[in-house]
Amino acid sequence: MLDLNSILPNLKSGLAGTGFLFGAGTSVEAGYPMMPALTREVVSALSSDELGQLLEVLASHSLSYNSVAGTPNIEVLADLVISHALNSGDSRFSLLEARLRDLVSDVILSVDNPHMDHHVRFMTGLKSRAFGQPACVYIFTTNYDCLFELAAAEAGVVVETGFSGSVERFFDHGRFSTSCGTRNAGRFEEHPALTIRLVKLHGSISWLARNGRVYERHPDAISKSERRVMILPRRRKVMDTLQSPHDVLFGVVSRALGVECKYIVSCGFSYGDAHINDNLLIPSVALGRVKLFALSEFVSDGMQPLRSPAFSAGFSDSMIVGGQDGEGATDLWRFGRFASLFG
What residues does each domain of the chain span?
4-32+115-340, 35-109
For residue 235, the model assigns a pLDDT of 52
Distance, CA of 34 to CA of 198 (rounded, Å): 21
Instruction: Count other C-beta atoms under 10 Å from residue 298's C-beta.
Output: 11
For residue 234, the model assigns a pLDDT of 55
Of 316, 212, 272, 289, whose CA–CA distance to 75 is shortest? 272
Distance, CA of 99 to CA of 15 (rounded, Å): 43
Average pLDDT over residues 283-307: 96
User: Which pLDDT tens digit goes with each residue over 234-262?
Assistant: 555 455 555 789 899 999 999 999 999 99
Distance, CA of 337 to CA of 320 (rounded, Å): 19
Evaluate if pTM is beyond 0.85.
yes
User: 28 with 268: CB under 8 angstroms?
Assistant: yes
Distance of CA 39 to the CA centre of its chain: 18
Distance, CA of 6 to CA of 313 (rounded, Å): 11
Band of the pLDDT at 198, cuts 50, 70, 90? very high
- Residue 37 gets the label, from left (phi > 0), alpha (psi -120 to 50) or beta, of alpha
For residue 259, the model assigns a pLDDT of 96
Give the H/E segment covering residue 30: none
- C-alpha distance across the termini of the chain, in Å: 17
User: 206 with 148: CB under 8 angstroms?
Assistant: no
DSSP E strand stretches across 142-246: 158-160, 163-165, 169-171, 181-184, 187-190, 194-200, 203-210, 213-216, 227-230
- The pLDDT mean for the chain works out to 92
Instruction: Count other C-beta atoms under 10 Å from residue 25's C-beta.
Output: 22
Q: Which CATH class is domain 4-32+115-340?
A: alpha beta
Band of the pLDDT at 41, cuts 50, 70, 90? very high
Instruction: Count other C-beta atoms under 10 Å from residue 106's C-beta.
Output: 13
Q: Which residues 6+ apart lie within 8 Å of 74 measured at CB?
A: 35, 38, 39, 42, 100, 104, 233
User: 8 with 90: CB under 8 angstroms?
Assistant: no
Average pLDDT over residues 59-73: 94
